[in-house]
Chains A and B, each alone.
Chain A
Amino acid sequence: MAILEVKNINKSFGRNHVLRGIDFTLEQGEVLSIIGSSGSGKTTLLRCLNSLEFADEGKIIVNGETIFDGSVNKRPSEKELMQKRLHFGLVFQNFNLFPQYSVLDNVTLAPRLLTKDSREQIEREALELLESVGLADKRNNYPCELSGGQQQRVAIARALAMKPNILCFDEPTSALDPELTGEVLKVIRSLADRHMTMIIVTHEMSFAHDVSDEIIFMDGGVIAARGGPAILDNPTSDRLKAFLTSF
């Protein structure tokens, strides 16, 4: 059974029809990359998955549990929303670390507030996560003391701390200087090696090619092409071909 089923997602902002019938499934441990030009609906799709936006139509099913159903008109209560959001983690383009907390506290904040684990255990796990992104030695630093690449690696550790089923990345390297993208991509790659289920919105074509099991190309709110990484070598659709030549 697929870990994620997305069925016929439609979303408009006023007259702007941003998502027009998005369908896809994702298997446990798979990496899906979503590519496409800006305005094609990639970010909106991720935000719908994370319940930051609500689609107008369609269904989102995680592990067999329907977490969104557009045919149900009732808005979910805050408690329900909090539960739904725990299925997903989201790493933002501009990190959004909490500036007033140290690196360690950024990672431990949510587990301390939402789980019943002891503080020692939460901190031990947080340190393991920071170790895995190579920043255990920065645990007592504040975000303003870190480079962009380091901040994004902390943000990844923070997202992992709530043990999401699916980790989403919204252009994780777009706000970084070119020489800093490598360290972040390396961390994402190591997660792929450990079979973390991930959805990555990215403009890094060669990275998407290397790390993905499946690639979706979005254009004008629809999935214009999909397939294995090979579709980047031999694009099946003209629109994808045109998009790729712009790189």
Chain B
Amino acid sequence: MNTFAEQFPIVFQALNVGFLQTLKLFAVTLLGAIPLGLIISFGSMSRFKPLSMLVRVIVWIVRGTPLMLQLLIIFYFPGLVFGKQLWGGGESGRFIASAVAFILNYACYFSEIYRGGIQGVPVGQQEAGQVLGLSKTQIFFRITLMQMIKRIVPPMSNEIITLVKDTSLARIIALQEIIWAGQAFMKGSQGISGAIWPLFFTGVYYLIFSGVLTLLFGWVEKKLSYFKV
């Protein structure tokens, strides 16, 4: 199978499978990290000092070390230290370990963005809610949250587009995402070997995906432009 026309359908098929795994990791990370980040940000803003200190130390460690290192440790630690395959074997085990590492890592980054967004809302907004007799929960959900969301859209879009590309780091524990799928044709797979073009082609997937996200965030920003904070 030497002609491009012969190779293309096979590669396309394999890259689609890999991209599906990339998308799955991307989606699961967001689903987990967006709410977990909020909890972490509340922890880091807690008036109970030991809690806020502990949370800030965790955030420092997670943000201060490479995601690739965290992936390796989270994937191999249970097996090598306790002799127990916590994540289960095979592709599903690798996916769960990747998801845990990505959610933890991204939740820490998101928490700092949230913290900035919440602390950026003027204290007068909260006080205006208080003197009207609203509860803390009502003030957060009815007053602070929307203003925070508007403030965090630009940094969040930045972080989420980074996540698109970071998913490829799961390659290090052999998660069969799109880079893994493309690289397979370099080493040899399904009768194709020594082919570099599938790797270039994976770049097209990333470009299209991040392009779509850029458009989406631009639309969100425009939707929120009816008020100023």
Contact = CB atoms under 8 A, between A and B. Distances in A.
A110 interface: yes
Interface in A109-162: 109-110, 113-114, 142-144, 158-159, 162
A110 B133 contact: yes
A88 interface: yes
A88 B131 contact: yes
Interface residues of A, number: 28
A52 interface: yes
Contacts of B136: 78
B127 A100 contact: no
B45 to A, nearest CB: 18
A189 interface: no
Contact of B147 (A82, A100, A142): A100
Nearest to A114: B133
Contact of A100 (B122, B132, B227): B227
Interface in A82-119: 82-83, 85-86, 88-90, 92, 94, 96-100, 109-110, 113-114
A83 B229 CA distance: 29
A99 to B, nearest CB: 4
A10 interface: no
Which one of B128, B143, B226 has the highest number of Cβ atoms from chain A below 10 Å of its Cβ? B128
Given A52-B131, A78-B135, A92 B227 contact: no
A96 B123 CA distance: 9
A47 B134 CA distance: 16
Contacts, number: 62
A50 interface: yes
Contact of B142 (A92, A109, A143, A144): A109
A96 B227 CA distance: 14
A50 B135 contact: no
A194 B142 CA distance: 32
Contacts of A94: 124
Interface in B177-229: 226-229
Nearest to A168: B131
A142 B227 contact: yes
Contact of A85 (B122, B133, B228, B229): B133
B127 A96 contact: yes
A109 B227 contact: no
Given A85-B132, A96-B125, A100-B150, 17 more contacts: A52-B130, A83-B133, A86-B133, A90-B131, A92-B124, A92-B128, A94-B124, A96-B124, A96-B127, A100-B227, A110-B132, A110-B133, A110-B134, A113-B138, A113-B142, A142-B227, A162-B132
Interface of A: 50-52, 78, 82-83, 85-86, 88-90, 92, 94, 96-100, 109-110, 113-114, 142-144, 158-159, 162
Interface of B: 122, 124-125, 127-128, 130-136, 138, 142-143, 146-147, 150, 226-229
